Structure 1
Amino acid sequence: MAGFVMAIAVSAYHALDRGLVRPLLPLERVGFDGELSRLHESDLREVLTGHLTGGLLSVDVEAIRAAVESLPWVATTTVRRVWPDALRITVDAHEPVAIWGNGALMTADAVVFRPSPLPDLALPDLAGPPGSAERVLERYRALAEQLEAVPLQPASLALNERRAWTLTLAGGGRLHLGRDSVDARLARFIAAWMEITDTGARELAVADLRYPDGFALRWQDED
C-alpha cells in the first residue's frame, strides 16, 4: 500500500517548559508511507506516544525510528524532517515466506518475527530447536527443489532435538529423513518413486528413508 499517508495530530508546543514556551518550528504533522497494509493506525499512535514532543529540530528521530521498528511487521524505518513542520516516516515491512514454530513467521533471510494475531497464510510450516531457523529454511528449500521432479508437494519440515528431519507433504504423507545423508536419501526415494506405476489414487502415509539401502512405505488406506 505504497503511498498511503496517515496524518497524526501533534501538539508539540506542550512539551517545552511544561507548556509555557512554544518551540521554534513546532512539529504539526507526521506522515507515513511505504508498506503499511499490515499496520494499524492505533498501533502507530501507541508506539509514538511520548516521542513527538518538542519542535521539528529537537525531536529525536532515532527514538522514533526504533519505536516504529518495535512493531512486529516492521523490518526497517526511515524518518525524515520535512520543513517546516512535519516528519515523514517510511516503513519497509517484513515479507514472510514460512510459518515458524509456535506463533511466528519467518522471512526469506530467516528473520523470525511474531505478529499478533498470526495471519492465516498459505505458507510452509517450519520448526526446529532455538537458533535453527536459518538451517531449517535452507534445508526446506533444498528438499523442495529436489521434489520438483515428482508430483509431491512439501508442506512442512521439522528438525527435532536429536537433529533428525521429518518432511510432511501436502497430502499428509510424512518422510522420515533421519540425521545424515538427507539429500542422498531423498534422491534415492525420488528415483524409486518415479518407477512406481501402480499407486493409482493412493496417498502416501509414511516413508521411512533411514534404511541404508532402501526405504519402507505405508499407504493411507492401509491399517
Structure 2
Amino acid sequence: MLLVGVAMLIAVAGAAWYALDRGLVRPLLPLERVGFDGELAQLQETDLRKVLTGHLTGGLLSVDVGAIRGAVESLPWVATATVRRVWPDALRITVAAHEPVAIWGRGALITADAEVFRPSPLPDLALPDLAGPPGSAARVLERYQGVMTLLEAAPLELESLSLNERRAWTLTLAGGGRLHLGRTSVNARLARFIAAWAEIPEADTRELGVADLRYPDGFALRWQDED
C-alpha cells in the first residue's frame, strides 16, 4: 500500500507540473510585473521588453532568469544585466550600459576596456575616431591613451588615430592636419614633434597640412595653404 501511495503522489505531482508548464492552470505566484532600472539613457524600454518576448511565461518561481539576463545582454548598449525576483509577483532587471570612449571604425563604439559594440543607429557623440585592422582594438586604444597623455602638453587636439594594415600609425588633428608616425618609436617621434611645435613661428598663424615624423632626427611638414 505504501508503494501505491508513493506512486500516486508522484503521478499527481507530475500531472500538476505538466499542467503548470503547459499553461493549463494558473501558476502559483504568477508573474505580473517587470521593472527596469540602472543605466538606461541610451536604451528604450520598448526594446528591453521586446527582447523578453517568450521569456516571461510561467510564474515567478518557474521563469528562467538566466535566459532573461541573456536576452537583455544581447542588446548592443547593455554591458551586463542582473535579474531579481521580487515577491510576490515581479521581476526587477538592473542594467549596466557600455560607456564608449571613442568611435571605432565604421558604425561601432569602443569602451575603455577595448570592448567594441555596434548600436544602431550610431548616436551623435563628440568622441575621437579610432580605427585599425581586425583584432587590433586593444592595441589602438592603448596607443590612443599614450598619445593623449603626450598631447596634454601641446595646443593640439586629436580628432582621429588609425593603424593601417602595414601597422603604421596616422594621427589626424582637429584642424585637419595629419601626422604620419610610422611603425616604430611612435611616442618618441610624437614627443619630439610636440617639443619642436612650440618653437615654430608659423604654428600660430597657419594650419598644418601634413607632418612626416618618420625621419631619424627630425620631421618634414607642409602647411594647408601649400596644398
TM-score, length basis structure 2: 0.89
SS in structure 1 of the partner of residue 201 of structure 2: coil
Could you tell me which of 46, 52, 57 is aligned with 2:50? 46
Amino acid of the residue matched to residue 25 of structure 1?
L
Q: Which residue in 2 is equivalent to 1:106? A: 110
Q: Distance in 2 between matches of 1:200 and 1:134?
A: 35
Unpaired segments ≥5 residues, structure 2 = 1-18
Could you tell me which of 178, 182, 187 is aligned with 1:174? 178
Q: Deviations over 1:25-72 (max 9, x none)?
A: 100000101111111122112200000011000000000000000000
Q: CA deviation at 1:17?
A: 5.3
Larger radius of gyration: 2
Q: Which residue in 2 is equivalent to 1:217? A: 221
Q: CA deviation at 1:199?
A: 3.2
Q: CA deviation at 1:107?
A: 0.7
The answer on 1:78 being equivalent to 2:82 is yes
Q: Distance in 2 between matches of 1:110 and 1:197?
A: 39
Q: Distance in 2 between matches of 1:66 and 1:17?
A: 21
Count of residue pairs the alignment pairs up: 209
SS in structure 1 of the partner of residue 49 of structure 2: helix
Identity %, equivalent residues: 84
Q: Distance in 2 between matches of 1:57 and 1:182?
A: 58
Q: Which residue in 2 is equivalent to 1:59? A: 63
Amino acid of the residue matched to residue 43 of structure 2?
L
Q: Deviations over 1:107-127 (max 9, x none)?
A: 111110000000000000000
Divergent runs of 4+, >4 A: none
SS in structure 2 of the partner of residue 184 of structure 1: helix
Structure with the higher fraction of residues in helix conformation:
2
Q: Distance in 2 between matches of 1:209 and 1:132?
A: 22
Unpaired segments ≥5 residues, structure 1 = 1-14
Q: 1:198 to 1:40 in 2, by over 3 A?
A: closer
SS in structure 2 of the partner of residue 87 of structure 1: strand
Q: Distance in 2 between matches of 1:198 and 1:168?
A: 19
The answer on 1:139 being equivalent to 2:143 is yes
- 2:23–2:58: 8 Å Cα contact kept in structure 1? no
Q: Distance in 2 between matches of 1:151 and 1:115?
A: 33
Q: Distance in 2 between matches of 1:17 and 1:76?
A: 29
The answer on 1:189 being equivalent to 2:193 is yes
Q: CA deviation at 1:145?
A: 1.0
Q: Distance in 1 between matches of 2:190 and 2:100?
A: 27
TM-score, length basis structure 1: 0.91
Q: CA deviation at 1:18?
A: 4.2
Q: Deviations over 1:138-164 (max 9, x none)?
A: 101111111111100111000000000
Q: Distance in 1 between matches of 2:216 and 2:21?
A: 78
- 2:171–2:179: 8 Å Cα contact kept in structure 1? yes
